[in-house]
Amino acid sequence: MKLRLQITLAFSLLSGSLLAQIPALERVEPAFWWVGFKNPKVQLIVHGNQISGKTVSLNYPGVKLSAVHKVENANYLFLDLSVNAATRPGKFPIVFKQAGKKDLVYTYELKQRNKGTDWAQGVTNKDLIYLLMPDRFSNGDQTNDVVPGMLETGLHRDSMYSRHGGDIQGLINHLGYLKDLGVTALWMTPEIENDEPHASYHGYAVTDYYHIDRRFGTNDLFKTYVAKSHQLGLKVIKDLVHNHIGTESWLIQDMPMKSWVHQWPKYTNSNFRDAAVMDPHGSAADRKQMLDGWFDKRMADVNQTNPYVQNYLTQNHIWWVEYAGIDGLRLDTYPYNDPVYMADWAKKLKSEFPHLSIFGETLVWSVANQAYFTQGNTVNRGFDTQLPGITDAQIKDAITEALNGKEGWTDGVNRLYNIVAQDFMYQDATRNTIFLDNHDMSRFYSVVGEDFTKFKSGIAMLLTMRGVPQMYYGDEILMKGYSNPDGLVREDFPGGWAGDKKDKFTAEGRNAQENEAFNYVRTLANYRKNTAALQTGKLQQYIPRNGIYTYFRYDAQKTVMIAYNGNEKEAVLNTDYFTERMAGFNTGINVITNEEIATLKQLSIPAKTTLIIELSK
């Protein structure tokens, strides 16, 4: 049976057997809420067998049932509640009545908002993000490896497309390792339920928006993870998927209405062409397919122009931030979302959490394409996207070109110079997340041909460039692999599982070069953590000369010089060219080796090597 037909049948009248499986009151979401939000309105989605035939009432001081919405599917009601500013926290019954039948009662709770200083504190260019996939990082609780009743029950570490058993407890067990490395913020790929029959370990095919996947842990454990991270000075980023939903979700198996997802006469993928969204000469058909086409047959494309969908998603994200104290949000597949809704979404999240950080995934092909999605670029859009920053794939590609390419007018080190020179397109490029690799692309160490010198130079540029640096798990121990065909970019972190032959979370488990890589990252990451000039300082770059790219990060306290030799042989850098920035500085300290540099007049730089020098007067 074709998927399109399956979706239609899921919406239409249910078979008697399936209908009988839905309880009279199956769920209410959000299951609880808080008093004290700036927006006093909350919309509850109620799911139950023929629930629309019932009348609804509640009685609680300060709470008004403003409207009851019946939709196409009789198994749903949408309840609009208004919670005024003076409402006290507490519990009250919501009663569902129908003549001749027993009343159904749901006890709703309004909680007091958290006012902690480490609640939704934001992730900024002062931080270093560590990205990991919970299924592949560490298995801290073997009792949740296989959960009876879920659609995928196997555990096969020899397959890149099966579940491996990693979980949130495994991450908690290694927070000290990450703290020592110099990391200040953690980003897991989505940890909410993905109850699909195969290859949903990655988390991007959500089937339950309000629950952590039981194979990763529980909601309480997730909240504990955030609290323990905060205790160690580590911030937490949550990965959100607005664009699509797993087809096994209860919201798809029994859709509230046909328009909950984008429907097509036959299965239609997105064309994956972000240019169709911004092209002033483009066709409406191309733009529609880009935005409304499905990401995958197992990932239904959510219709974000539907007001019920809008409320549901926005409230869910507010709920998670308030519930757990999340500091930042990464938005998956940002260009595929409805632009107007995403701007409204961002405005509402910022209103409730002023310090919350937000950045969108934009794996696109030019600086202009990236900048188009960021806030402040209203001329060609007619509205402000409210999106502070993006994943800066152009910096990633430019660093790779600087390391692997041959010098040319726009090639080699000149590519990186030219990309940085285009920062004028952003309202604030320092809000962009910069990276060398991630879970969707070949690992950085493999991309540079397992050249250790290039590896160190790439890390050096990542941790000294403007923006918010992000590392991918295992980069610090030289994990390698290509995205195609073997998928080893998502390999397990060695030592994260009981019985692993080597534990590379420890120096004893790593070989000499892995320890050198780890110590290089740790030295520079911790130096960055204690050096404001590399976080919020200004950046000044110079046109590359003779294959050497030089830039400075500086503030009133410190000036740091970064010079990368992109040549295949050692080169000498004459620093007279940099008098504008170096005037008054006579000596320096090599940040990595801590060796004093007695004179800055001329610097000999080995091939493919990056020098990082803290200048002294």
Q: Catalytic residue positions?
A: 332, 361
Q: What is the CA radius of gyration of the chain?
A: 26
**Burial of 191: CB neighbours in 10 Å, binned 0-12, 13-18, 19+:** buried
Tokens of 428: 């604030």
User: Which among 381, 479, 549 has a CA at the least distance from the CA of 373?
Assistant: 381
Element of type H or E holding 292: helix 284-292
Residue 175 exposure: Cα atoms within 13 Å on the Cβ side: 20
Asked if residues 45 and 78 have their Cβ atoms less than 8 Å apart, the reply is yes
Please work out, in degrees rounded to the nearest 5, the angle formed at the alpha carbon of residue 442 by the alpha carbons of 215 and 565: 135
- The C-alpha atoms of residue 503 and residue 16 are separated, in whole angstroms, by 53
Nearest in space to 237 (alpha carbons), one of 147, 324, 136? 324
Decide: 70 and 77 in contact? Cβ < 8 Å.
Answer: yes
Rounded Cα–Cα distance for residues 46 and 30 (Å): 9
Q: Using CB atoms within 10 A of its CB, is residue 312 exposed (0-12), middle (13-18) or buried (19+)?
A: buried
As a whole number of Å, the end-to-end CA separation of the chain is 75
CB atoms within 10 A of CB 472: 23
- Coil, strand, or helix at residue 587? strand
Name the DSSP letter for residue 606: -
Question: SS3 letters for 252-268?
Answer: HHCCCCHHHECCCCCCC
Angle at 455 between CA 454 and CA 461, to 5 degrees: 85
The CB density around residue 48, as the number of other CB atoms within 10 Å, is 21
Q: List the one residue out of 467, 473, 478 whose CA is nearest residue 439.
A: 473
Q: Which of 582, 123, 140, 99 is nearest to 325 (CA)?
A: 123
CA dist., res. 544 & res. 420, Å (int): 12
- Give the span between the Cα atoms of 151 and 392, in whole angstroms: 36
**β-strands 235-240, 328-331 pairing:** parallel
For residue 464, give Cα distances in angstroms to 358, 597, 607: 22, 19, 19
- How many C-beta atoms lie closer than 10 Å to residue 351's C-beta? 12
